[in-house]
């Protein structure tokens, strides 16, 4: 397996925290940005990516429909088409994600930065809403996000909450965690409940053991972030959930984003549908 340091970040030609989506994608496409995308082009919707053979696309579509909290669909491509015109005029899904994961028979075999060599005419791309999109609203409301302040990827965990199965796809819910003071957590619930297209309200607050997380300091994906005295962990459904389902379904080929390494779209967070 190709090993990539998840904290290694290429120096972008400009400050991508203030860039628009196209500038960020071009830096990613050119290999000038290889880190996670939390905080990049913050006004723009980011998306989780799942790419599957057409023979499995209808099953995965039903999996998303049955599990809208972790799998809110933003777009689905035509078979073999690497573009996603609903999300951006120049998107090429083969090169516009900083880091991919390649799965064969449910096993992770590679983590490339480009998948052009793997592309086939029967591949269908699914893009799912990402919690990075609501972080901008939380920050605007004065809620500190420690992983953003520290330049880390968000912490993500497998839980004991089962997803609703569809065809071969099933498995545990994956959640992302942000530590907050109680007053900020209440405000965060209110803000994120309004944007179901990017996971909506949290699925759990407080004791992580109640959802099967036994060591908050050791996330399954992303970087550990301290929960300080006077704070509680707040957990949102996460778009890495399909990767857990892929491990169970064991498709002959699946390509996903690496956790935290998202597709940045031209859509604006302010234009997401509100509940």
262: three-class secondary structure by DSSP = coil
What's the CATH number where 94 sits?
3.40.1640.10
> In terms of residue numbers, what domain contains 100?
16-132+249-268
Q: Where are the beta strands (DSSP E) in the chain?
A: 44-53, 73-76, 100-104, 107-110, 123-129, 155-162, 172-181, 204-205, 231-237, 254-257, 263-268
Please report the pLDDT score of residue 96 as a whole number.
97
Per-residue pLDDT of the chain (275 residues; tens, 9 = 90+): 333 333 333 333 346 777 889 999 999 999 999 988 988 888 899 999 999 999 999 999 999 999 999 999 999 999 999 999 999 989 999 999 999 999 999 999 999 999 999 999 999 999 999 988 888 889 989 999 999 889 899 999 999 999 999 999 999 999 999 999 999 999 999 999 999 999 999 999 999 999 999 999 999 999 999 999 999 999 999 999 999 999 999 999 999 999 989 999 999 988 887 76
Please report the pLDDT score of residue 275 as a whole number.
63
**Domain identity same for 128 and 141:** no
- In whole angstroms, what is the distance from residue 25 CA to residue 230 CA? 39
**Domain identity same for 81 and 101:** yes
**Domain identity same for 200 and 103:** no
With respect to residue 97, please indicate whether it lies within any of the assigned structural domains: yes
**Domain identity same for 51 and 90:** yes
What's the CATH number where 159 sits?
3.30.2040.10
**Domain identity same for 78 and 123:** yes
3-state DSSP helix/strand/coil % of the chain, to nearest 5: 25, 25, 50
Q: How many domains does the chain have?
A: 2
Please report the pLDDT score of residue 14 as a whole number.
45
Q: In DSSP terms, which residues pair with 147 in a beta bridge? A: none
Cβ contacts of residue 256 below 8 Å, gap of 6+? 48, 49, 50, 51, 100, 101, 103, 242, 243, 246
Nearest-10 crossing angle of helices 182-192, 132-140: 120
**Domain identity same for 128 and 180:** no
Report the chain's terminal Cα–Cα distance, integer Å.
42
- In whole angstroms, what is the distance from residue 275 CA to residue 180 CA? 23
**Domain identity same for 25 and 110:** yes
Please report the pLDDT score of residue 63 as a whole number.
97
With respect to residue 8, please indicate whether it lies within any of the assigned structural domains: no
59: three-class secondary structure by DSSP = helix
């Amino acid at each position: 397996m190709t090993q990539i340091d998840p904290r290694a970040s290429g120096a972008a030609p400009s400050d991508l925290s203030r860039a628009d989506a196209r500038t960020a994608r071009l830096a990613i496409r050119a290999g000038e940005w290889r880190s996670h995308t939390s905080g990049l082009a913050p006004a723009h919707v980011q998306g989780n990516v799942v790419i599957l053979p057409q023979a499995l696309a209808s099953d995965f579509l039903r999996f998303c429909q049955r599990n809208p909290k972790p799998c809110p669909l933003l777009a689905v491509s035509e078979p073999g088409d690497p573009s996603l015109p609903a999300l951006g005029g120049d998107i090429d899904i083969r090169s516009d994600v900083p880091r991919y994961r390649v799965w064969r028979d449910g096993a992770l075999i590679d983590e490339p930065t480009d998948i052009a060599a793997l592309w086939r005419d029967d591949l269908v791309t699914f893009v799912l809403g990402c919690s990075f999109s609501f972080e901008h609203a939380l920050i605007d409301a004065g809620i500190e996000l420690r992983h953003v302040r520290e330049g880390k990827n968000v912490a993500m965990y497998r839980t004991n909450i089962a997803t609703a199965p569809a065809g071969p796809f099933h498995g545990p819910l994956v959640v992302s965690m942000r530590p907050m003071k109680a007053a900020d957590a209440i405000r965060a619930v209110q803000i994120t409940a309004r944007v179901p297209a990017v996971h909506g309200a949290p699925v759990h607050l407080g004791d992580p053991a109640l959802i099967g997380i036994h060591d908050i300091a050791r996330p399954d994906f992303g970087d550990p972030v301290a929960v300080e005295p006077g704070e509680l962990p707040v957990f949102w459904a996460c778009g890495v959930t399909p990767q857990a389902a892929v491990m169970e379904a064991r498709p002959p080929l699946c390509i996903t984003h690496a956790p935290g390494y998202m597709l940045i779209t031209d859509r604006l967070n302010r234009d997401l549908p509100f509940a």
